[in-house]
Structure 1
Amino acid sequence: MSEFVALSMLGASADQLKKIVEQMGTLPHIGNQCFRVVVDPTQITLAAQLVKDAQLPVMIISVAGYPTGRHHTLIKASEARLAVQSGAEEIWVSVDNTIADSNTHLSELIAISEACPDPVQLGLIAPLSGAPTHPAAHAAIQAARQAGFKRIISRQGSPELAEAASPLEFHVVDL
């Protein structure tokens, strides 16, 4: 399995994105390493075209409901679907960190999953409400597991979150 490397370009301008992709083209090939670039929904088409033109082994990831997760479920599902149609290969979803009911999260995550055709991969951006043991984080992770998500993304390392995420992949990414 290749190492998980994700570069967040959330909030980057088109010029910044172009520059980063150009720089990635100068990196030496490292085995079966797959680089991931996380972009805003409005930057997906540009990022996908830049990566294609440069023939780079880069996966385009975008977000739905980011950063607060306080969007209507249908808005998140539509945002995820449009991202996929624009060229994203993976979607990371934010959920409302004030909700500690796994059924509420499950219905939302299933709707998003249904909006994204295979082979699109889905990740949950773990909600952080102070402590990593917060019930909202565990409820959302449980729902992601049940909804068929592939990975949990966290902005901070935490043994409790990593343990709760099992058997899903758990990655710490600076978003």
Structure 2
Amino acid sequence: MTTLETGRLAAMIDHTLLKPEATREDVAALVREAEELGTYSVCVSPSMLPLTTSVKVATVCGFPSGQHASSVKAAEAADAVSKGADEIDMVLNIGLARSGAWEEVDADIRAVREAAPAPTVLKVILETAALEDEQIVEACRAAERAGADFVKTSTGFHPAGGATAHAVELMRATVGDRLGVKASGGIRTREAAEEMVAAGATRLGLSGSRAVLEGDATTSTATSSGGAY
């Protein structure tokens, strides 16, 4: 049973295609589908920029490992903004977070924030399945200190897994109403999407957006190579 109106749910979605084998034709199909469905944005690899579309354009930075040098992440973000990206989803340095090196985590996020200042929206991907609860809380605090606009659960590519309602609830409890919370990674049904929203997510990263919105188990043509997202 659905509880969210379909248009409202669509307007929370970053319609995503990040698989490395994706072609420009695949991305063009993604854009057409996003416009048809009324999603908030498309999220694509930075090499696919610039895009012409009526929806917002998001891209990733330091993806998917997060282990890039901060200077590289900053340069990647600045380049994406120069090519029209409205939003940057950067990957946290997960190793630093697991080690408790929070000053370095702050500096890493801040480098990207400075390279992509407001009004560009900055989301920080925590890879929550690879972190303990206490590390998720501290990572959220670091993202807020460094000026991020959102915290985000997952890349969708980590073997530890994707989004969980527990992680989303923990992130929301930590950031309150001050930051957005994006759930992504393994959300493939309408029920799962609505569970994430109920847990506190204000944005969803989906590759199979049509299937989720229509409650269909099949995968859309545009995102058949959409990946683990």
Same fold per superposition (TM over 0.5): yes
Alignment partners' CA distance in 2, 1:14 and 1:130: 32
1:44 and 1:134, CA in 2 relative to 1: closer, same or farther beyond 3 A?
farther
Tell whether the 8 Å contact from 2:137 to 2:170 is kept in structure 1 after alignment. no
Q: Percent identity?
A: 22
1:131 and 1:147, CA in 2 relative to 1: closer, same or farther beyond 3 A?
closer
Over aligned residue pairs, what C-alpha RMSD do you find? 1.9
- Give secondary structure in 1 for the equivalent of 2:30: helix
1:111 and 1:59, CA in 2 relative to 1: closer, same or farther beyond 3 A?
same
Alignment partners' CA distance in 1, 2:172 and 2:44: 24
Pair 1:109 & 2:109 matched:
yes
Structure 2 residues not aligned, in runs of 5+: 1-7, 155-162, 186-228
Alignment partners' CA distance in 2, 1:6 and 1:165: 21
Name the counterpart of 1:41.
46
TM-score by length of 2: 0.64
- Which stretches of structure 1, 4 residues or more, deviate above 6 A after TM superposition? none
Q: Which range moved further: 109-118 or 64-73?
A: 109-118
Name the counterpart of 2:144.
145
Summarize the alignment of residues 14-163 of structure 1 with structure 2, pairs less than 5 Å apart: 14-27=24-37, 35-45=40-50, 48-49=51-52, 51=53, 56=54, 58-99=55-96, 100-135=100-135, 137-155=136-154, 156-157=163-164, 158=167, 159-163=169-173
Tell whether the 8 Å contact from 2:30 to 2:42 is kept in structure 1 after alignment. no
Higher strand share: 1
TM-score by length of 1: 0.82
Alignment partners' CA distance in 1, 2:72 and 2:129: 23
Alignment partners' CA distance in 2, 1:6 and 1:108: 24
1:8, CA displacement in angstroms?
A: 1.3
Give the aligned residue type for 2:102: S
Name the counterpart of 2:13.
5
Name the counterpart of 1:164.
174
1:170, CA displacement in angstroms?
A: 1.0
Q: Which range moved further: 92-101 or 60-69?
A: 92-101
Tell whether the 8 Å contact from 2:152 to 2:184 is kept in structure 1 after alignment. yes
Give the aligned residue type for 1:142: R
1:129 and 1:171, CA in 2 relative to 1: closer, same or farther beyond 3 A?
closer
Q: Deviations over 1:56-91 (max 9, x none)?
A: 2x1111111111100000000000000100110110
Higher RCO (CA 8 Å, separation ≥ 6 residues) = 2
1:134, CA displacement in angstroms?
A: 4.9
Number of residue pairs matched by the alignment:
160
- Give secondary structure in 1 for the equivalent of 2:40: strand
1:163 and 1:7, CA in 2 relative to 1: closer, same or farther beyond 3 A?
same
Structure 1 residues not aligned, in runs of 5+: none
